[in-house]
Chains A and B, each alone.
Chain A
Amino acid sequence: MKSIEELRAIKEKAKADIQLRESQDGLRIIVGMATCGIAAGARPVMNTFVEEISKRNITNAAVTMTGCLGMCRLEPIVEVIDKEGNKVTYVKMTAEKAVKVITDHIVNGKIVTEFTVGAVKD
C-alpha cells in the first residue's frame, strides 16, 4: 500500500459489495417471488433491480423478495416502500420497466404512474 488513495479505492469497491448488510432506512424494493411471480418472469425483473442499483451506486435502496400478494394475474409485482411506509405497487413488470422505475422513481423520486396497479385496465 503506497498511498491513501489506494486504500480508498479498495474501500469503495468493497463497500458496494457489503452495502446490502447495512441497516436499511431508505427505500425497499420488494419483488413478488412466489410461484406465480417467478412463472410470470419475476426473476429477471429482480436481477435487473439488483444490477441497476449496483451499477448506479444507489445506496438508499435494497431489493428483497416476498411471496404471493394474491393478484397473480398482475405478476410480476414489485412494491416500493419508503421510510414512512408509503407504498407504490407496480404490476406486470419487465426488465425494461424495472430500469425506468429505477431512473424515475428510485433516483428522481417520480412515481411511474403508468406501471402502477391503478393504471391497469381490464
Chain B
Amino acid sequence: MQIYRSHVLVCGGTGCTASGSSKLSDELIACLKENNLENEVKVVKTGCFGLCAEGPIMVVYPEGAMYCRVQESDIKEIVLEHLLKGRIVKRLLEGNSDLSAPQTDAEGTDFFKKQMRLALRNCGRINPENIEEYIANDGYEALAKVLTEMTPDDVVNVMLKAGLRGRGGAGFPTGKKWSFAKANQADQKYVCCNADEGDPGAFMDRSILEGDPHVVLEAMAIAGYTIGSNQGYIYVRAEYPIAVKRLEIAIKQAKEYGLLGKDIFGTGFDFDVEIRLGAGAFVCGEETGLMTSIEGHRGEPRPRPPFPAVKGLFEKPTILNNVETYANVPQIILKGADWFSAIGSERSKGTKVFAVGGKIKNTGLVEIPMGTTLREVVYDIGGGIPNGKKFKAAQTGGPSGGCIPASLIDTPIEYDTLVEIGSMMGSGGLIVMDEDTCMVDLAKFFLEFTVEESCGKCPPCRIGTKRMHEILTKITEGKGEMSDIDDLYSLATAIKTSALCGLGQTAPNPVLSTLRYFKDEYIAHVVDKKCPTGVCKALLQYKINPEKCIGCSLCAKNCPVSCISGVIKQPYVIDQSKCIKCGACMAKCKFGAISKG
C-alpha cells in the first residue's frame, strides 16, 4: 500500500467546482509532480465543506489547515511553502481577514465550532468516488448489523425510539412511515429517495449526494430490509450533474462489492437501486407527484388517501424519504436510538442542515443541533450581516415557508416552534434579509415561483396563486387598495384548505407570514404609496431639493433618459413621467440635493 504523509482534500462540490476547483486539483497534481512529491502527498477530491462563500476550498491534513478562495496562482506557494517546507500559508487560511492569529485547524473556526455534523459527517472528509473511504468510516457496518443481528421490527423500534423526523420539510416520524409500509402485505414494495430538491436556495441534498453518496444507498437498503422491499429508486434532478455522476459511480461500486444486488452478506437479502432523473418541476418533489413521474407519467400529484405506504409507486406499498433523512439512518443503527434522541430538543431530535444564503457573510451549508437559536446561526456561525446592515428577517422553508422577524431571532429552530410562528422547517433553505429587503416584494417573488411551478391540476392552486400574485403586483405598483389586503387573506385561507397537494396548501405561507409580521409595510405601499425600503421601483421618486441644488447640471448630463432639465445656476427638475429610477443622478450629485423616497 502506498503511504502518504499528507492528504490534500480539494472540494469538488457544485459550489467550488463553479469557482474553478477542478482546475486547481489538476494544477496541484502537476505542481506536486514537478517537486517530486507525488508519492508523499495524496490529492483527494471530496464533497462540500459547507463554507461555500469562501470557495474554492482546500484542506491539508494532518494539520487540517483550510485554505479559502484558492486561485491557480496560489498553488505553487501552497506546494513550495506548506507541502515542501511545512510552513502553513497563513494568508489563505479561513477567516484570516479579521483574525490576528489565524486558526490553522478549520474545526476550530467560528463557522464550525457550533456545528454538529451528522448528516454531513463525511462531506469534505472522504473521497465520494471511492467506496473504501466510506467503508473506512464505518460505512455499510449498519447494513451488516441490521441484516445479521436485527429483525425488521427491531429496526422500526430503533427508528421510533430515536425520534428521527422527515428532513424534507413536513417532519413526519420516519419510524412510523416505515412501520406502516411494513405492515402492509404485498408481492412487491418500493423504497424511494426524494432528491428532487426544489426550494430556491436549498442545496443540502445535493451536497450530501455529492459528498457522501453511499450513505443514501446504505440507508435505502436498510429501509428495504425493514419494510420487505428489494427495489429502490432515487429521484434526482437532472440539474445536479455532479450528484448524478457520483451516485452512478457509487451504485456501480456497491454492486461490485456485493453491497447491493443479490444475497447481501450471504443473508439472502436482495436489494437494488436505480436512478430516475427529474426534469426540474417543483411539484415532483411532492411525494405523489414524484411517484407519478417515476411511473413515466406527467408529474402531477394525486389525492391522498390512499397514502404511499398503502398504495404508492405502481400502486404498491412505498416509502419515500428525503436524502438528509436517509443520511441519519446508518448512524442511528450503529450508535443507537438513545444516542440520537439525546441530541437536539424535546420535540425535535438530532440535527438539521441549513443552506444559509442571502445577506450573510458566511454563505454555505451548516448543520446544527435542533433547538439552536436563529441568532446563533446568523451571528455566530454565519458571521452576521455584511456592510454593517441590520438583520430584518430570515426566511425558512422557501416558497412553502415564512419569515422569522428580528423580534423572534432567539426562537429555537425546531419543527414545532417554527410552525407556531408561521414559518416551517422546510427542506432547510435559510435566507437572511437585511433592512434593504422589501417584504411585499419578497412575498411577490415566492408567489411568482409557485405560480410558475403550479402543475395546474387543481383550481385553488392554479387560479388562486395567480390571483394572489396579481394583487401583490398591483400593491407593489402603487395601485393597491385596503380591500386588496383582505382579499389576500381570504384567498390565502381558501387555497390552504382546498388545494390538492402540499405545494398548493403551503403556497400562501409567504404572504400570510409577511402580513403577520410586516403588515405596516403592506399598508405603506397601499395607503402612503411608498415602499419603505425603496425596492419597489414604481413607488420610488427621485426628487431634487431646490434649496440644495446649485444648478451645476451634472445630474442632467448623467441621466440616461434625459428627463432632468433646467437652467444653469438655477435648481433643476426631474420629469417623473419619464424617470426610470436608475439612481444615476443621486449617485453623481456632489451636493446631496437629490433624495429618493
Partners in one complex: yes
Contact of A54 among B3, B6, B9, B63 (CB under 8 A): B3
Can you list, as one digit per residue, whether each of B247-283 has a CB less than 8 Å from chain A (1) or not (0)? 0000000000111000111100000000000000000
Q: Is A119 interfacial (CB-CB < 8 Å)?
A: no
Least Cβ–Cβ distance between A92 and chain B, in angstroms: 19
Give the docked Cα–Cα distance between A23 and B141 (Å): 22
Asked if B61 and A14 make an inter-chain contact with CB atoms under 8 angstroms apart, the answer reads no
B-contact bits for A6-25, CB 8 A (1 contact / 0 none) = 01001101111110110110
A64 partner residues in chain B, CB cutoff 8 A: 62-63, 86
Report if B314 contacts A (CB, 8 A): no
Interface string of B124-166 (1 = CB under 8 A from A): 0110000011011111110010001000000000000000000
A21-39 interface with B by 8 A CB criterion: 21, 23-24, 30-35
Minimum CB–CB distance for B117 against chain A, Å: 12
CB distance A67 to B266 under 8 Å?
A: no
Known: A62-B62, A65-B86. A2 touches B7 (CB 8 A): no
Residues of chain A lying within 8 A (CB to CB) of residue B3: 50-51, 54
Chain A neighbourhood of B139, CB < 8 A: 11
State how many angstroms separate the Cβ of B514 from the closest Cβ of chain A.
Answer: 44
With a cutoff of 8 Å between Cβ atoms, the chain B residues found around residue A33 in the complex are 84-86
Q: Which of under 10, 10 to 19, 20 to 34, or 35 or more describes the interface residues of A? A: 20 to 34
Chain A contacts of B40 at CB under 8 A? 47, 50
Contact partner, B9, options A3, A10, A21, A47, Cβ 8 Å: A21
Residues of B within 8 A of A7 (CB): 135, 140-141, 144, 265
A14 to B61, CA, bound (A): 16
A57 is an interface residue with CB less than 8 A from chain B: no
Q: What string of 1s and 0s marks CB contacts (under 8 Å) between B352-383 and chain A?
A: 00000000000000000000000000000000
A110 to B379, alpha carbons, bound, how many Å?
A: 47
Q: Which one, B4, B7, B86, B144, contacts A67 given CB within 8 A?
A: B86
- B107 interfacial contact with A, CB 8 Å: yes
CB distance from A103 to the nearest CB of B (A): 18
Asked if A93 is at the interface (CB within 8 A of a chain B CB), the reply is: no
Q: Which of A1, A10, A31, A34 contacts B132 (CB 8 A)?
A: A10
Bound CA–CA A51/B63 (angstroms): 18
| Chain B residue at minimal CB-CB distance from A12 | B136
Residues of B in contact, count (CB < 8 Å) = 37
A79 → chain B closest CB, angstroms: 11
Chain A residues near B86 (CB, 8 Å)?
30-34, 64-67
Tell me the bound Cα distance from A7 to B40 in angstroms.
28
Q: Which of B522-570 contact A (CB under 8 A)?
A: none
B61 x A21 contact (CB < 8 A): yes
Across the interface, which residues of B come within 8 angstroms of A11, CB to CB? 135-136, 138-139, 141
A10 to B266, CA, bound (A): 17
**B4 with A20: CB separation less than 8 A:** yes
Cβ of A46 within 8 Å of any chain B Cβ, yes or no, is yes
What per-residue 1/0 map shows which CB atoms of B292-324 lie under 8 Å from chain A? 000000000000000000000000000000000
A residues within 8 A CB of B132? 10, 13-14, 17
CA distance A33 to B5 in the complex (A): 13
Residues of B within 8 A of A15 (CB): 136
The CA-CA distance from A29 to B573 in the complex, in Å, is 75
Which chain B residues border A2 with CB–CB below 8 Å?
258, 263, 265-266
Q: B101 at the A/B interface (Cβ < 8 Å)?
A: no
The verdict on A63 contacting chain B, using a C-beta distance below 8 Å, is yes
Task: Give bound CA distance, A66 to B126, whole Å.
Answer: 26
Residue of A nearest to B64 (CB): A23
Interface-central residue, A11, A23, A32, A62, by most chain B CB under 10 Å: A11
Interface residues of B in 36-57 (CB under 8 A from A): 40
Q: Tell me the bound Cα distance from A4 to B142 in angstroms.
A: 11
Which of A7, A17, A18 has the largest number of chain B CB atoms within 10 A? A18
B87 lies within 8 A of chain A by Cβ: yes
* Cβ contacts under 8 Å, B87 to chain A: 66-67
The chain B residue with its CB closest to the CB of A65 is B86
Contact check: which of B5, B61, B138, B140 meets A50 at CB < 8 Å? Answer: B5
CA distance A23 to B107 in the complex (A): 9
A17 to B107, alpha carbons, bound, how many Å? 21
B136 contacts A14, CB within 8 Å? yes
Residues of A contacting B148 in the complex (Cβ-Cβ under 8 angstroms): 4
A17 to B136, CA, bound (A): 9
In this complex, what residue of A is CB-closest to B257? Answer: A1
CB of B1 within 8 A of chain A?
yes
- Chain B residues contacting A18 (CB-CB under 8 Å) are 7, 126, 133, 136-137
Determine the residue in chain B with the shortest Cβ distance to A35. B85
Task: State whether B265 touches A34 (Cβ < 8 A).
Answer: no
**A16-B144 CB under 8 A given contacts A1-B259, A23-B64:** no
B-side contacts of A3, CB under 8 Å: 265-266
Task: Determine the chain A residues whose CB is within 8 A of the CB of B137 once the complex forms.
Answer: 18
Chain B residues whose CB sits within 8 angstroms of the CB of A4 once the complex forms:
144, 148, 265
Contact of A20 among B61, B257, B259, B266 (CB under 8 A): B61
Q: CB distance A65 to B85 under 8 Å?
A: yes
**Docked-complex contact A63 and B85, CB < 8 angstroms:** no
Q: A2-B258, A46-B5 are in contact. Are A17 and B133 (CB under 8 A)?
A: yes
Contact string, B228-251, partner A, CB cutoff 8 A, digits 1/0? 000000000000000000000000
8 A-B pairs with least C-beta separation: A65-B86, A1-B258, A14-B136, A14-B132, A62-B62, A15-B136, A50-B5, A66-B86
Can you pick out 30 interface pairs between chain A and chain B where the beta carbons lie within 8 Å of each other?
A: A1-B264, A1-B265, A2-B263, A3-B265, A7-B140, A7-B144, A7-B265, A11-B138, A14-B135, A14-B136, A15-B136, A17-B133, A18-B126, A18-B137, A21-B61, A21-B62, A21-B125, A23-B64, A23-B107, A30-B86, A33-B84, A33-B86, A34-B86, A47-B5, A50-B5, A50-B40, A54-B1, A64-B63, A65-B85, A67-B87
Q: A1-B140, A2-B266, A67-B87 are in contact. List 9 more A-B contacts (CB 8 A).
A: A2-B258, A3-B265, A13-B1, A14-B135, A18-B133, A20-B61, A23-B107, A50-B4, A67-B85
